[in-house]
Amino acid sequence: MMASAIKKAIFPVGGMGTRFLPATKSLPKEMLPVVDKPLIHYAFEEAVAAGIEQFIFVTGRNKNAISNHFDHSYELQRTLSEKNKQRELDLTSAWLPDAGNIIFTRQMEPLGLGHAVWCARHWIGDDPFAVILADDMVLADTPCLKQMVDMYHQTPGNLAAVMDVPREHTQKY
């Protein structure tokens, strides 16, 4: 039997960002910039590269910057358009998925990763899905999630990507 395609991903982005203090005192950790994009944007691009079509963000308090990043910025877009700045205009929205493919739901209190995934259950149903932790960036020739989706199609079942963490840093996770 062939495995169903993985088309949905959950992004648990409701955490408090304590590993990155003081930078995350007023800015969600997922919005921390890496070169010219926030961390969450790299995670989104990784999902797109893996064939994900529906993006479910489980947010928490003070995470409006994330939903704003994945929305149109009409004033900015109008200004860029009027000034014929097409390259900059494309950077604001050309990468956005079609309307209706991004979902935001709230994890009302920070009860952990499992609870965050549970909060997305109504949008997942019985479909296979991915969970992407945007605050752990993995650099690879083939994006990590793409590798996992490819492996899932070869051998359907649950998969987890793991990384070594030095013992002295484990309390941060």
Confidence at residue 74, expressed as pLDDT on a 0 to 100 scale: 92
pTM: 0.90
The predicted pLDDT at position 125 comes to: 93
Q: What is the mean pLDDT of residues 4-29?
A: 90
Asked whether residue 148 carries a pLDDT value surpassing 90, the answer given is yes
For domain 8-71+103-162, give its CATH number from 3.30.70.60, 3.60.20.10, 3.90.550.10, 3.40.50.880: 3.90.550.10
Give yes or no for residue 172 having a pLDDT over 80: no
Per-residue pLDDT band at 1 (split at 50, 70, 90): low
**Could you give the CA distance from residue 129 to residue 158 in angstroms, rounded to a whole number?**
10
- Who contacts 23 (Cβ-Cβ below 8 Å, separation ≥6)? 17, 29, 32
What is the structure's pLDDT at 21?
87
Percent of the chain with pLDDT over 90: 64
**Spatial CB neighbours of 127, under 8 Å, sequence gap ≥ 6:** 4, 7, 8
pLDDT at site 165: 86
Does the pLDDT value for residue 164 go beyond 80?
A: yes
Span 23-40, average pLDDT: 92
* Residue 123 CB-half CA count within 13 A: 25
What are the tens digits of pLDDT across the range 66-104?
Answer: 999 999 999 999 999 999 999 999 999 899 998 889 999
Domain range annotation of the chain: 8-71+103-162
H or E element that contains 58: strand 54-59
Longest dimension (CA), the chain: 54
Instruction: Give the length of the chain.
Output: 173
Q: What is the pLDDT of residue 162?
A: 86
